[in-house]
């Protein structure tokens, strides 16, 4: 079997939610538990840290992985979705799973004549667990796919959990109120497994407190710890211990993620895991280099300043647009050019209201079935008075923005993870 054949086989096993949306959603743990039993419970062969939440899961997961790598540990990292290469989902010490390992797992699964119908995500997750087990990682950072309680990854028993925050996303599956969404995310909290909560208002805190109390475990709210004292700039900060750090993840929204990670580090230290301040410093400073993370406030060019970001819901886009506003204010006579597209199952009516009227828009749709067609996006842009031009691909929209922008202007590409994915694929 060739690698491309293996990938196509995976895609056919109930297609990816990230590509087609609700039709691929498969809640529940029964299939994952059966698959796990069949492969002899590979996740029991390494220590894991479970990461959930609405926004910041990827950044938090990669920062934790980078810090543990800097300490000398062998670290597995399982995240989703991928941007360009399927293998981005499964990494060990920043290196993607080799193509031959993907082929080996798929061939093994086909040959075993497994009596069941696992989804793409369930199979991919088991591939990661199997690979981490066979490569003998010390720790694996496991990112929740969606929700928590019924997510396939919730078969693991981690040494610690992190829930970054709660915001509006996937309401058709997780609940129509923030406490309902929080209850689903809290489903990864388990007996005697400490948990760190990144951000939570009082109403959400009560959900998490009640869950932690009901299962008998400790809970830490990162916001109450305030490890981060001051941000000198978007990529430099000082902590309460008097240390100054830089971080390769430069988005303004990363402040809260960095504080969450620091709380998680203290949780791991309390479990007896050795992590030096030097490793923390190195992990923050080199997180993208160490783990291969891309698409988070990623600067593609300086003149014009060109940034792409995978933020795709109200909370994530709010932070991004606020930061763009600050950048514009610091540039005399600068104009903002926004290349954007969305997936069809987001709350576009509310999301699009966040976008500024004083920008020029280049709208398109990513090349996936789940994408909101550009003509439908055009209608929504027209309804609120945005100035836009339609393009058939993200690449052509970006080229148009680049040709129209002066050196002093700003270009932002976002709205959807898959818009960023299409752009990065076109730049390879």
- Domain that residue 53 falls in: 3-291
Domain co-membership, 66 together with 209: yes
Give the DSSP per-residue string, 238-283. EETTS-EEE-S---TTHHHHHHHHHHHHHHHHHTT----HHHHHHH
Spell out where 309-409 has E strands.
Answer: 336-340, 359-363, 387-390
Does residue 306 sit in helix, strand or coil?
strand
Least confident span in 219-233, 365-379, 394-408: 219-233
Does residue 161 sit in helix, strand or coil?
strand
Cα–Cα distance between 383 and 349 in angstroms, integer? 10
CATH at 285: 3.40.1190.10
Domain co-membership, 277 together with 302: no
Q: With beta carbons less than 8 A apart as the criterion, state whether 375 and 398 touch.
A: no
Cα–Cα distance between 100 and 131 in angstroms, integer? 12
pLDDT digits (tens, 9 = 90+) for 33-81: 999 999 999 999 999 999 999 888 999 999 999 999 999 999 999 999 8
Domain co-membership, 275 together with 379: no
Cα–Cα distance between 132 and 139 in angstroms, integer? 9
Cα–Cα distance between 288 and 271 in angstroms, integer? 27
End-of-domain residue from the set 274, 291, 308: 291
Domain co-membership, 340 together with 202: no
pLDDT-derived band at 234 (thresholds 50, 70, 90) equals low
Question: Alpha carbon 107 to chain centroid distance?
Answer: 29
Name beta bridge partners: 282.
none
Average pLDDT of the residues of the chain = 89
State yes or no: pLDDT of 19 exceeds 50.
no
Domain co-membership, 110 together with 226: yes
Burial class of residue 289 (count of CB atoms within 10 Å of its CB; 0-12, 13-18, 19+): exposed
Question: Alpha carbon 43 to chain centroid distance?
Answer: 21
Q: Quickly count: other Cβ atoms within 10 Å of residue 115's Cβ.
A: 7
The pLDDT value recorded for residue 284 is 92
| Omega prior to 272 cis, within 30 of 0 | no
CATH at 339: 3.90.190.20
pLDDT digits (tens, 9 = 90+) for 126-185: 999 999 999 999 999 999 988 788 899 999 999 999 999 988 654 455 547 888 889 989
CA-to-CA separations, 146 to 121, 292, 337, in angstroms, rounded: 11, 22, 32
Q: Among candidates 289, 243, 281, 232, which has minimal Cα distance to 261?
A: 281
Q: Indicate the number of domains in the chain.
A: 2
End-of-domain residue from the set 248, 271, 291: 291
pLDDT digits (tens, 9 = 90+) for 78-120: 999 899 999 999 999 999 999 999 999 999 999 887 777 888 8
Cα–Cα distance between 50 and 153 in angstroms, integer? 8
The pLDDT value recorded for residue 251 is 67
Burial class of residue 55 (count of CB atoms within 10 Å of its CB; 0-12, 13-18, 19+): buried
Q: At what angle do helices 417-427 and 394-404 cross, to 10 degrees?
A: 80
Q: What percent of the chain has pLDDT over 90?
A: 68
Domain co-membership, 243 together with 392: no
Cα–Cα distance between 153 and 145 in angstroms, integer? 7
Cα–Cα distance between 116 and 300 in angstroms, integer? 44
Cα–Cα distance between 317 and 309 in angstroms, integer? 9
Question: What average pLDDT does this structure show over 187-210?
Answer: 93
Domain co-membership, 260 together with 122: yes
End-of-domain residue from the set 232, 258, 291: 291
User: Helical H runs in 21-93?
Assistant: 30-38, 57-70
Q: With beta carbons less than 8 A apart as the criterion, state whether 90 and 128 touch.
A: yes
Name beta bridge partners: 239.
228
Domain co-membership, 344 together with 277: no
Domain co-membership, 336 together with 259: no
pLDDT-derived band at 236 (thresholds 50, 70, 90) equals low
Q: With beta carbons less than 8 A apart as the criterion, state whether 311 and 416 touch.
A: no
Domain co-membership, 270 together with 335: no
Domain co-membership, 244 together with 368: no
Domain co-membership, 231 together with 341: no
């Amino acid at each position: 079997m060739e690698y491309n054949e293996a990938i196509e086989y995976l895609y056919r096993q109930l297609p990816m939610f990230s590509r087609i949306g609700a039709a691929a959603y498969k809640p529940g743990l029964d299939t994952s538990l059966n698959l796990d039993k069949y492969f002899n419970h590979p996740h029991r062969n390494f220590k894991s840290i479970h990461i959930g939440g609405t926004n910041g899961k990827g950044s938090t997961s990669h920062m934790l992985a980078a810090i543990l790598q800097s300490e000398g540990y062998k670290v597995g990292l399982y995240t989703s979705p991928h941007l360009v290469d399927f293998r981005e989902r499964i990494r060990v010490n920043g290196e993607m799973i080799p193509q031959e390992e993907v082929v080996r797992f798929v061939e093994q699964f086909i040959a075993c004549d497994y009596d069941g119908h696992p989804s793409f995500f369930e199979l991919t997750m088991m591939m990661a667990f199997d690979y981490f087990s066979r490569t003998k990682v010390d720790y694996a950072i496991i990112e929740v796919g969606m929700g928590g309680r019924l997510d396939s990854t919730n078969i693991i028993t981690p040494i610690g959990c992190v829930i970054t925050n709660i915001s509006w996303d996937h309401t058709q599956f997780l609940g129509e109120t923030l406490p309902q969404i929080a209850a689903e995310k809290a489903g990864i909290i388990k007996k005697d497994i400490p948990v760190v909560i990144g951000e939570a208002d009082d109403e959400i805190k009560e959900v998490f407190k009640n869950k932690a109390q009901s299962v008998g475990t400790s809970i830490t709210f990162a916001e109450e710890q305030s490890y981060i004292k001051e941000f000198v700039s978007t990529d430099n900060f000082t902590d309460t211990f008097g240390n100054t750090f830089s971080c390769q993840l430069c988005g303004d929204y990363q402040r809260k993620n960095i504080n969450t990670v620091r709380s998680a580090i203290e949780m791991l230290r309390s479990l007896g895991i050795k992590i030096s301040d030097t490793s923390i410093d190195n992990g923050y400073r080199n997180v993208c280099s160490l783990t291969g993370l891309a698409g988070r406030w990623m600067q593609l060019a300086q003149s014009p300043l060109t940034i792409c970001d995978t933020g795709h819901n109200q909370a994530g886009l709010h932070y991004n647009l606020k930061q763009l506003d600050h950048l514009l204010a610091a540039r005399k006579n600068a104009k903002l050019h926004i290349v954007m597209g969305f997936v069809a199952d987001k709350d576009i009516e509310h999301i699009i209201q966040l976008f500024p009227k004083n920008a020029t828009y280049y709208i398109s749709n990513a090349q996936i079935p789940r994408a909101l067609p550009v003509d439908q996006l055009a209608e929504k842009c027209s309804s609120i008075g945005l100035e836009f031009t339609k393009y058939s691909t993200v690449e052509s929209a970006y080229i148009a923005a680049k040709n129209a922008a002066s050196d002093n202007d700003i270009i932002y590409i976002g709205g959807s993870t898959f818009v960023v994915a299409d752009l990065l694929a076109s730049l390879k």
